[in-house]
Amino acid sequence: MNFLDPMIRPDAKIDGDADWWRGAVIYQIYPRSFQDSNGDGIGDLAGIIHRLPHVAELGVDAIWISPFFKSPMLDFGYDVSNYRDVDPMFGTLGDFDALIDRAHALGLRVLIDLVLSHTSEEHPWFKESRCSRDNPRADWYIWADAKPDGTPPNNWLSVFGGSAWEWDGERMQYYMHNFLAEQPDLNFHNMDVQNALLDVARFWLNRGVDGFRLDTVNFYVHDKELRDNPPLKPEDRNANTAPAVNPYNFQDHRYDKTRPENLEFLKRFRALMNEYDAITSVGEVGESQRGMQVQADYTSGGDKLHMCYDFEFLSGEAPTGTRIGKVLERFNEIVREGWACWAYSNHDVPRHTSRWNLTEEGARVYAALLMSIKGSVCLYQGEELGLTEAYVAFEELQDPYGKRFWPKYKGRDGCRTPIPWTRDNQNAGFSDAKPWLPVAMEHAQRAVSIQEQDETSTLAFYRRMLAFRSAHPALIKGEMEMVAVSDEVISFIRQDEGTRMFCAFNLSDGSHPIDLPEGSWRADKGAPFNVVETDQGIALPPFQACYALEAGEQT
């Protein structure tokens, strides 16, 4: 297979800056769909190693790798059967060590996806737990007796549909699962469970990882009394955590997740990370009703998570300037001490270019906005190519979530199809064999090899925009002050150590004049946008952005 291998950045290095994560751009890799190296149609760690130069050339700071642990793959790695080993389809621990070395040589830090709230039913811990009610791990999972009529202990629902309780004939009890029935939830009220999971994190820290993305971080602890969740009014059924077709949205999930006891575990997790140099954590908060407050609770005090992200910009709601302004304002009011990690797309939601029906120009200005607001950034593989949501026929569907709610909800496979690297074969350079999911025909026209030859391509735009961000510390760690907000235009100032940068974004298909703040400003020509300067000020053409520095600052 012919792999492209751009030159290593001459400034590539990994330093000891403990604060590196603040303002970092993190590139998410979904390993099954990134690059197949052995011809089985499934991406693997060796494939990631070969393609890391592409990621480094983008100019990001770190990669986050979705789970590659040993697993029966019913939820494609999010059902772990061995936390301390690599699934053979992805390679070996030796491959992972080589990946760490290669990434660090390219100036990329490595975060891995830890799934601590639940395991696979194939995990030895669960196999032992279900054997009896008095074995050493009998209380490692959440077991409960049936009600007198045989029904589940309470009304809790699974994110993947149906009851969150599964009957087990071996123990003659129900066990809890927030996701698939084959993904039993661990009992975080048991300190032996917490200790075992902290040992898992230590195992990977000792192998050289630079941090963790913590899957479903607010799902760790459940209510010990197993109280019923109250219902939500129809007008409050926010569909961010689960698709609208799923009755999971009918409940206020007060008792099955986001419990206050979780804060003590997060403090223990942070204490472990503090034993190592320059480690970070980003927690996924799946909480529709109290997402911002959870972020505040989980990142306050400097003794829990470094940062969180929720689903504010991962929803289908149109991201007008007004809405984005309100989200940022709420974050500043509620979270205060914490640090955000913003994302438009990931492996669980339709790609944002399709979700928001964006043109190519529109997608670019939204990308620039994402890279300019205060916080860190997660980019999902393929965003830099402008990939749209792929159509996957039911016959080729792999996602159990999609199979359950088809056709109202088509699942997550449309954002998980393989990355197109070249246009010169039927699988776009991803694999020599039939891929586990089909390569979208329209994606092949956006292959890396094509876009690398076009200085006007989306890939070229991302490289220039990330380089521009990197050249301006105010865009990385600076404070943020909102200037003006409307549906069509949003503007603000980023400030760091005396440098003030004005940022304005036209999110519409019409031209708009821009009022600069008081003072003397000049447009920064290094940004990859077209700005029209007139005697009256600055005019922004459709889907363009303006960056301006105060007079006296260097471009």
Query: Angle 291-299/262-273 helices, nearest 10 degrees?
Result: 50
**Is the separation of the CB atoms in 451 and 460 below 8 Å?**
yes
Q: Is 405 left (phi over 0), alpha (psi -120 to 50) or beta?
A: alpha
Three-state DSSP class for residue 372: coil
Q: Is 275 noted as a catalytic residue in this protein? A: yes
Q: Is the dihedral of CA 526, 57, 61, 33 positive or negative?
A: positive
Q: Give the residue from 424, 426, 420 showing the smallest Cα distance to 459.
A: 420
The amino acid occupying position 554 is Q
The amino acid occupying position 391 is Y
**Is the separation of the CB atoms in 56 and 64 below 8 Å?**
no
Q: Is 215 noted as a catalytic residue in this protein? A: yes
Q: Give the residue from 14, 45, 472 showing the smallest Cα distance to 211.
A: 14
Question: From CA 243, how far away is CA 316, in angstroms rounded?
Answer: 10
Q: What percent of the residues of the chain are helix, what percent strand, and what percent coil, each to the nearest 5? A: 30, 20, 55
Close Cβ partners of 231 (under 8 Å, ≥ 6 residues apart): 250, 251, 252
Q: Which of 15, 235, 275, 518 is catalytic?
A: 275
Close Cβ partners of 10 (under 8 Å, ≥ 6 residues apart): none
Q: Which of 57, 75, 168, 215 is catalytic?
A: 215
Close Cβ partners of 498 (under 8 Å, ≥ 6 residues apart): none
Question: From CA 296, how far away is CA 281, in angstroms rounded?
Answer: 15
Q: Give the residue from 365, 378, 351, 382 showing the smallest Cα distance to 459.
A: 382
Taking the alpha carbons at both ends of the chain, their separation in whole angstroms is 42
453 burial (CB, 10 Å; 0-12 / 13-18 / 19+) is: exposed
Known catalytic residues are 215, 275
